Amino acid sequence: MASFSTLSCSLALFLFFSLNIMASAQLSSTFYDTSCPQALPTIKKAVIAAVAKERRMGASLLRLHFHDCFVQGCDGSVLLDDTASFTGEKTAKPNANSLRGFDVVDTIKSQIESVCKQTVSCADILAVAARDSVVALGGPTWAVLLGRRDSTTASLSEANSDLPSPNSDLSGLISAFAKKGLSTSDMVALSGAHTIGQARCVSFRDRIYNDTNIDPTCVTVLKAKCPQSGGDDNLAPLDAVTPTIFDNFYYKNLLNKKGLLHSDQQLFNGGSTDSQVSSYATNFAKFFSDFPSAMINMGNISPLTGTDGEIRTNCRKIN
Residue-wise pLDDT for 272-318, tens only, equals 999 999 999 999 999 999 999 999 999 999 999 999 999 999 999 99
Evaluate if residue 74 carries a pLDDT over 70.
yes
**Which residues belong to CATH 1.10.520.10 in the chain?**
38-163
What pLDDT score was predicted for residue 5?
47
Averaged over 20-25, what is the pLDDT?
A: 46
Evaluate if residue 9 carries a pLDDT over 70.
no
Band the pLDDT of 18: cuts 50, 70, 90.
Answer: very low
**Which residues belong to CATH 1.10.420.10 in the chain?**
170-298
Distance CA 98, CA 95 (A): 5
User: What value, to the nearest 5°, has the Cα angle with vertex 52 and ends 251 and 164?
Assistant: 40
What pLDDT score was predicted for residue 124?
98
Dihedral-angle region of residue 231 (phi above 0 means left; psi in -120 to 50 means alpha; beta otherwise) = left
Give the predicted TM-score (pTM) of the model.
0.92
CA 151 to chain centre: 18
Average pLDDT for the chain = 94
What percent of the chain has pLDDT above 70? 92
Evaluate if residue 6 carries a pLDDT over 90.
no
What pLDDT score was predicted for residue 206?
98
Using CA atoms, how far residue 125 sits from 106, 234, 267, 317, in Å, is 10, 29, 30, 15
At 209-261, the pLDDT tens digits run: 999 999 999 999 999 999 999 999 999 999 999 999 999 999 999 999 999 99
What pLDDT score was predicted for residue 243?
97
**Annotation: binding site:** 68, 71, 73, 75, 77, 89, 164, 194-195, 239, 242, 247
Band the pLDDT of 23: cuts 50, 70, 90.
Answer: very low
What pLDDT score was predicted for residue 26?
85
Q: Which CATH number fits domain 38-163: 3.90.1640.10, 1.10.3080.10, 3.40.30.10, 1.10.520.10?
A: 1.10.520.10
**Annotation: binding site for Ca(2+):** 68, 71, 73, 75, 77, 89, 195, 239, 242, 247
Domain range 170-298, CATH architecture: Orthogonal Bundle (1.10)
Band the pLDDT of 21: cuts 50, 70, 90.
Answer: very low
Instruction: Name the residues annotated as catalytic.
Output: 67
